[in-house]
């Protein structure tokens, strides 16, 4: 079926493979990504070479942080002078869809391996993220190279040199997301886990637990992005849509309050690796068209963040 999220097998492009990948594999993956990004805008990657154990370790360490009392978590709030990009965001502090009454979601952001971690209260958090995030970075470089091939541009990876090297150079963020259990009073119109939005940057790598709930708006309908264990979901952000003159789409997605009581009573976790171009990169349409006005990567991100942080 056309309106489905395809699964792309990375084969020797996965991190487990150390040699040079076959040209035929690179061509196939480039074509499959191109076709998915020009239509549904989301794709599952399999055989990416990142061990599930590393993902599960981040989920476990994150849970031990998110289950702490609010007063402790608030001590790590993001957006403080000494903690501008890294740190905690609580319920309703980031509203992605203006029509939401509440967005019941918490998150913790890290912008570099040596960022600000809640070591005192969640001692495993740092170690588990330092094991996973650099692998997501490496996988991203491989994906960007493939994407550039399909667009006949050897381009994107050189615009992302400082990915996950710190917010002063690049705003790529490793985000651990936590959707707490919901009370009966939360079951009302306008209350969601994550309001409908498109991501802001170039691409997003998303790892979900098995609770489900993510939906993707494609061809006029919401389709579920059902978790497939061992895969990573990839979607595009607005800047990649601008860059490609809308050939690639930054698909809108959301996470609603689950209908089944059992799922409302369970927390949900996910990890997003939001990939941004280096701060000073000017994003203008690669085909030379004037479909979008040039915009600086960092300026665009700041304008979106200031519209969503409360």
Ligand X SMILES: O=C(O)CCC(=O)C(=O)O
Closest CA to 179 of 255, 128, 65, 262: 255
Which 140-179 residues touch ligand X, going by CB under 6 A? 177
Applying CB under 6 A, among 48, 73, 137, 253 the residue interacting with ligand X is 253
Hey, which residues between 79 and 108 contact ligand X (CB under 6 A)?
Answer: none
**Interface with Fe ion includes 103 (CB under 5 A)?**
no
Do residues 240 and 155 lie in contact, with contact meaning Cβ atoms separated by under 8 Å? no
- Cβ proximity to ligand X: between 14 and 227 the closer is 227
Partner interacting with residue 177 (select from ligand X, Fe ion, none; CB below 5-8 Å by kind): ligand X
**Distance (Å, whole) CA 274 – CA 170:** 11
139 interface partner picked from Fe ion, ligand X, none, CB below 5 to 8 A per type: none
Rounded Cα gap, residues 146 and 118, in angstroms: 36
Q: Applying CB under 5 A, does 86 fall inside the site for Fe ion? A: no
Nearer to ligand X by C-beta: 112 or 208? 208
Q: Rule CB under 6 A: choose which of 103, 199, 209, 278 binds ligand X.
A: 199
- Site pattern 152..191 for Fe ion (x: CB under 5 A): ----------------------------------------
Q: Which contacts (CB < 8 Å, 24+ apart) does range 245-250 have?
A: 245/285, 245/286, 245/287, 245/289, 245/291, 245/292, 246/291, 247/38, 247/151, 248/37, 248/38, 248/41, 249/37, 249/38, 249/39, 249/41, 250/41, 250/198, 250/199
Q: 214 touches which of ligand X, Fe ion, none (CB within 5 to 8 A by kind)?
A: ligand X
Spatial CB neighbours of 133, under 8 Å, sequence gap ≥ 6: 110, 113, 164, 174, 273
Q: Enumerate binding residues for Fe ion (CB under 5 A).
A: 199
Q: Enumerate binding residues for ligand X (CB under 6 A).
A: 177, 194, 199, 206, 208, 214, 253, 255, 270, 272
């Amino acid at each position: 079926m056309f309106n489905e999220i395809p699964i792309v097998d990375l084969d020797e492009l996965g991190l487990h493979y150390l040699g040079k990948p076959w040209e035929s594999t690179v061509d196939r993956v480039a074509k499959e990504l191109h076709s998915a990004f020009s239509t549904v805008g989301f794709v599952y990657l399999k055989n990416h070479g990142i061990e599930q154990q590393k993902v599960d370790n981040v989920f476990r360490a994150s849970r031990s942080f998110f289950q702490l009392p609010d007063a402790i978590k608030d001590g790590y709030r993001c957006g403080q002078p000494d903690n501008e990009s890294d740190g905690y965001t609580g319920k309703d502090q980031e509203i992605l869809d203006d029509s939401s009454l509440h967005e019941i979601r918490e998150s913790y952001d890290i912008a570099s391996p040596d960022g600000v971690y809640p070591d005192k209260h969640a001692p495993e958090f740092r170690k588990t993220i330092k094991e996973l995030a650099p692998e997501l970075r490496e996988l991203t470089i491989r994906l960007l190279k493939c994407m550039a091939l399909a667009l006949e541009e050897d381009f994107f990876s050189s615009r992302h040199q400082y990915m996950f090297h710190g917010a002063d150079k690049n705003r790529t963020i490793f985000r651990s997301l936590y959707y707490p259990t919901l009370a009966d009073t939360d079951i009302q119109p306008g209350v969601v886990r994550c309001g409908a939005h498109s991501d802001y940057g170039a691409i997003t790598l998303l790892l979900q637990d098995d609770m489900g709930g993510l939906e993707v708006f494609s061809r006029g309908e919401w389709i579920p992005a059902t978790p497939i264990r061992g895969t990573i979901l990839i979607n595009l952000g607005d800047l990649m849509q601008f860059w490609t003159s809308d050939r690639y789409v930054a698909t809108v997605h959301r996470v609603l309050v689950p209908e089944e009581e059992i799922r409302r009573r369970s927390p949900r976790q996910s990890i997003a690796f939001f990939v941004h171009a280096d701060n000073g990169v000017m994003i203008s349409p690669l085909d030379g068209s004037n479909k979008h006005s040039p915009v600086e990567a960092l300026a665009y991100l700041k304008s979106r963040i200031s519209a969503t942080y409360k």
